[in-house]
Structure formats: C-alpha cells, structure tokens
A and B are shown apart, each in its own frame.
Chain A
Amino acid sequence: MLTIKEYVKAESLAQAYELNQKKVNRLLGGMLWLKMQNTQINAAIDLSGLGLDFITETEDEFSIGAMTSLRSLELHEGLNAYTQGAMKESLRHIVGVQFRNLATVGGSLFGRYGFSDVLTMFMAMDSYVELYRAGIVSMEEFAAMPYDRDILVRILVKKTPRSFAYLSHRNTRTDFPVITCAVSLLKGEPFSQTASASLDVPDASFAGERNLQKTFVTQPVRVCFGARPHRSVLFTDEASRLAREISEESIEAFWNDVDEKLVTGTNTRASGEYRRHLSRVLLKRALLQAGGKNV
C-alpha cells in the first residue's frame, strides 16, 4: 500500500527539483504505476500546476510538456499527421481511455519501463528529453541512463521528414505488449546519407542555457524494439542494408544484423524465443508498411 505524508503542489521547477533530491520524496506523474507500489513517501511532489501540459507544434518540431496526458498525445492531429498515425497506434492499446487521461508522457518516459509503448515510439523519432538539471538528452541516451533524481520537463521531437510504422503484439488487446516495434525511415534523396542540422531550441527552455546547441544527427533508419521485456533499444542500419530498397530480402539482411545484438528475455507473458520470433515478424511488417516501395 502506498502511503504519503505530505502532498506538495510545486510552485516552481526549482522547488520541485530541490524536494526531489531527497530519496523519501517522489515526483508524481500520472501516478498509475506509483499507486500500485507498496512504498512510503514523505512528500509527493505534483508538477501539475507548472503549465507542463502542452503540445506545441512549429514548422521544425513538437514540444511536449511532461505533464501532457497520453490521451492528448493520442488525439493530437499534428503528431498523428507527422507519424502517419503511428503515435496513436502506439498509445491506443494502453489499458483504456480513462487510464490514458491520467497517465502522463513524462511519467511514462521517466520510468523507462521495459513494457513502455511510449518509449519505443519516441525512440523511433528524432526526439530528445529536456531534463531540469542535465538539459537536453537524446531519447536513446536517456533510455540507457540509470535512474537519477532529475526532472523530465518536456520532450522535443524534430520534424525530420520520416515515415513511421508502429506495431506491437499483445496477448490481449489492452495488455502490456509482448513486444513492441517502431520504425522510421528518412524520406527523400539521397536516402542513405545521414542528415544533420543544428538542434536549436526556439522557445523558452526550462533548463536554462545548458546544452542547447548540439549537432543534430539523424539516421536514415531508426528501429526500436521494446517490451523485450527490457527497456527499449534502438537499431540504426549501420551496414546500410536498407539503403537501396525496402524489400523482404533487404529486411532479412538487416534482421540478421539485429538478431546478433537483440536481447530478449522471458517473463510470464512470453518466452525470449517467442519475442525474438515476433521481433523479426514485426520488423518486416513495420518496415514494409513504413518503407513500401517508394521511399
């Protein structure tokens, strides 16, 4: 059973950050996961009064506040247009509408849960988290980081021209996934080249002046597997197997590269072998869906 001594509605990120440095205190996201834990919390820190429930879209990027609900992401027309519906597909299987109205994108990502559809989807995008202390970190770096007591403030998604597909396999439709697979392919010519641009953060940054100018690199292929059942991992097509075309043959060659590195494990929902099998199936389907013939 969860017990909380004190509820603090944070008045500033600085205050929240300071409170959060104590191990006995906890930040609240949507609280869905936290609520199930048998733990004692001194101060529960609520960010919901800090205006972090927003999705803004510019020509170059999306900026998404950490307290934005999964349901808002799912319904956001801009995000769905940009991802060809993959964003919605990655979210609509999560329990139910009422759950997704409470669950926050910040909470989902910060937990870096093995089962996370959200993390899998964002990792397939050119996305970054903005942490209060550490500043801007790419999603794949963030996914691999150990837990610390920083605050995830918002998510930035660069609108590089990509085509997306998101697939998952679940034992029942709204269960945790057995495996998730998100892919994205850079559109346009020349397909095989890595694009780069400066990542600049146009609007007011919550993280102050740290780390705002970074070279922004995008890969032609981003493939992410989650629910392995470990944290999501990213594969880029380093050997350029998919550079010429997306076909069953080229996908098979790419899969062979992935197969060597992909770690899958067993839990009550599925075995590691089945997860590996599904990874291959979903990879093929997702790449064909995203790539088709006309990349």
Chain B
Amino acid sequence: MTITLTLNGKKITDQISADCLLIDFLRSHGALSVKRGCETSNCGLCTVFLNDVPVLSCSMLAARADGQTVTTLEGLQDEAEEFGAFIADQGAEQCGFCNPGFIMNAIALLRENPSPTDDEIREYLAGNLCRCSGYEGQLRGIRAFIDYRQERSRS
C-alpha cells in the first residue's frame, strides 16, 4: 500500500507492507535516532511525535500515520541540542541509547507543562526506561534547563 506523511517537515510518499511498523518505516527513511529497546511497549526508546503527541513508534502501524505529521529527534535538532546540553552537563546521557526517546518525551512534557514539579516530571517520563543513569542526573538536567529558561525569559 502507499502512504504519504510529513516526516520532519518533509513530505514522503512510499510503498509499505500493511504490517510495517512506524519505527521501521522511520529508520528506513533515515530517522536513525529512533531506537528499539523492547517488543512489549515498555521502554519508550522509540518515542516520536505523531501530530505533536508523543507515541511509541514500535507499537503503531506505519499505515496509521498516512496523512499525518511525524517528528523524530532528527527534526528537532535545535531543541535537542539546547536541552541535551543540560543532560550532557550532568553526564547523564551515559550510553545514550535511551536518549532520543527520553529527550522527545521531555520536550513533549515541557511543551505541555513548562514548569513541572519533580513529581510531574517523574510521572510524565515514567514510560522512558534508562538502565545507566539512575534517573537522578536526568532530573537534575531537566531542572537546570527549566531554571535556565525561566532565567532567560525574565531577562
């Protein structure tokens, strides 16, 4: 079947099989930031935006993205760099394999709720597993980024 979707601002039309998962479609179209960490929708590594809503690309048919807008970290490089620098300043990126999904979802959180509490951060990101960092460094990075943004908007 043929689908057309907007990936990171570019319109793409391609032939796919009916059971092609969105993650595989995205990776085959160069969005290699999208990672697979499990087959059971538990890890959050494959998080992308479907019409600006964070979803698990491993658990969705590419066919369902027909006519929709999909964004991966490749399409959010400026935001990733700005926010990611705060994670890097904690050394909390560690192996980095969970980072794209985590950063996508952190961006989604901060769009929905620009000044979340620690508990709100933990709850929103609960579906993003990380085995390296113990999560505290990610939390410190997010807090530092929020402080930086608030500081910047004040000045």
Instruction: List residues of A whose CB falls within 8 A of some B CB.
Output: 2-7, 9, 28, 30-32, 35-36, 41, 44, 46, 48, 92, 95-99, 101-102, 173-174
Contacts and interface: CB of A to CB of B under 8 A. Distances in A.
B56 A102 contact: yes
A212 to B, nearest CB: 32
Contact of B56 (A5, A41, A99): A99
Given A5-B18, A95-B41, A101 B53 contact: yes
Contacts of B18: 4-7, 44
Contact of A101 (B54, B58, B126, B128): B54
23 contacts: A2-B19, A5-B18, A9-B63, A9-B66, A30-B59, A31-B60, A32-B41, A32-B59, A35-B41, A35-B58, A35-B59, A46-B63, A92-B123, A96-B44, A96-B128, A97-B54, A97-B125, A98-B105, A101-B53, A102-B55, A173-B126, A174-B126, A174-B127
B97 interface: no
B42 interface: yes
A105 B109 CA distance: 23
Contacts of A31: 59-61
B64 interface: yes
A98 B19 contact: no
B74 to A, nearest CB: 18
Contacts, number: 80
Contact of A48 (B64, B123, B125): B64
Interface residues of B, number: 32
Nearest to A175: B42
Given A46-B61, A96-B105, A96-B127, 5 more contacts: A4-B19, A5-B18, A36-B39, A97-B125, A98-B54
Nearest to A2: B19
B129 to A, nearest CB: 9
Nearest to A48: B64
Nearest to A6: B18
A99 B60 CA distance: 10
B107 interface: no
A277 B59 CA distance: 36
B108 interface: yes
B59 A97 contact: no
B25 interface: no
A36 to B, nearest CB: 6
